[in-house]
Amino acid sequence: QQQVKQSPQSLIVQKGGISIINCAYENTAFDYFPWYQQFPGKGPALLIAIRPDVSEKKEGRFTISFNKSAKQFSLHIMDSQPGDSATYFCAASSGYKLSFGAGTTVTVRA
Amino acid sequence: NAGVTQTPKFRVLKTGQSMTLLCAQDMNHEYMYWYRQDPGMGLRLIHYSVGEGTTAKGEVPDGYNVSRLKKQNFLLGLESAAPSQTSVYFCASSLRASYNEQFFGPGTRLTVL
CB B35 within 8 A of CB B44: yes
Please tell me the predicted confidence (pLDDT) of residue B96.
81
Give backbone dihedrals phi and psi of B107, rounded to 5 degrees, phi first.
95, 155
Q: pLDDT tens for residues B77-108?
A: 999 999 999 999 999 999 987 778 899 999 99
B48/A95 CB distance under 8 A: no
Nearest Cα of chain B lies from the Cα of A32 at a distance, in angstroms, of: 6
Mean pLDDT on A6-35: 96
Cα–Cα distance for residue pair B42/A9, rounded to 1 Å: 11
- Say how many CB pairs under 8 Å bridge A and B: 60
Mean pLDDT on A40-50: 96
Q: pLDDT tens for residues B37-89?
A: 998 889 999 999 999 999 999 999 999 999 999 999 999 999 999 999 999 99
- Tell whether B94 is within 8 A of chain A (Cβ): yes
**Beta strand spans in A40-103 (E):** 45-50, 56-59, 62-67, 72-77, 86-93, 98-100
Mean pLDDT on A60-72: 96
B4/A49 CB distance under 8 A: no
Residue B106: which of A36, A43, A103 has the nearest Cβ? Answer: A43
Please tell me the predicted confidence (pLDDT) of residue B2.
85
